[in-house]
Amino acid sequence: MKKIFILFKEKNYYLFLICLFSMGVSAQEITHKQSNDFWNHVQFGGGIGLSFGSNYFSGTLAPSAIYRFNSQFGLGVGLSGTYNSQKHYYKSSIIGGSLIGLYNPIRELQISAEFEENNVNVDWDSRTGYADDNYWYPSLFLGAGYSTRNVTIGIRFDVLYNSSKSTYLDPWMPFIRIYF
């Protein structure tokens, strides 16, 4: 009887060890899947702009990324850089970043809030009589748009708009947002 009890005890010990190690392997596998799942929720996009005119040039590059928590909510970051030049008048560079929040109450409607902070550097031609300027300018855009899959077309409004310092001509701004 004693031998059977020891044998039974030994089998329980081995069964316990097998269960313990299989749980560890299973936990490692789940963690690995979760870390790879992050990139399935990230979408990349941004904007490129070029403008040419009589003695005028403007170029913009603005990459961004959004993390989609689910089909309704997303948060993201963006960078932007713009160079403007008008011969015999001025040159400017605008470098900044932004934080954006997206909410889709229904699939076709996207509501957005975007905080943007830009460093503006303006070098005036000496003949203009204006002093060079360097300053930070914040913008807070609230917007709404029509969405179809990865594309949203809409309008946004800068609630912090200041006509003498803003890098935009108007507080109302149409937009096209594309994320892949």
- 12/92 same-domain check: no
Average pLDDT for the chain:
86
Indicate the SS3 state at residue 164.
coil
- 89/170 same-domain check: yes
- 58/122 same-domain check: yes
- 13/48 same-domain check: no
- 88/174 same-domain check: yes
- 28/62 same-domain check: no
Q: What is the pLDDT of residue 169?
A: 86
Of 31 and 107, which is predicted with more confidence? 107
* CA geometry: angle 33, 35, 39, nearest 5 deg: 105
**And the tokens for 28?**
């490692």
- 34/63 same-domain check: no
Segment 12-63, tens digit of pLDDT: 555 555 555 555 554 455 555 555 789 999 999 988 889 989 999 999 999 9
| Number of domains into which the chain is organized | 2
Q: What is the pLDDT of residue 8?
A: 47
- 19/73 same-domain check: no
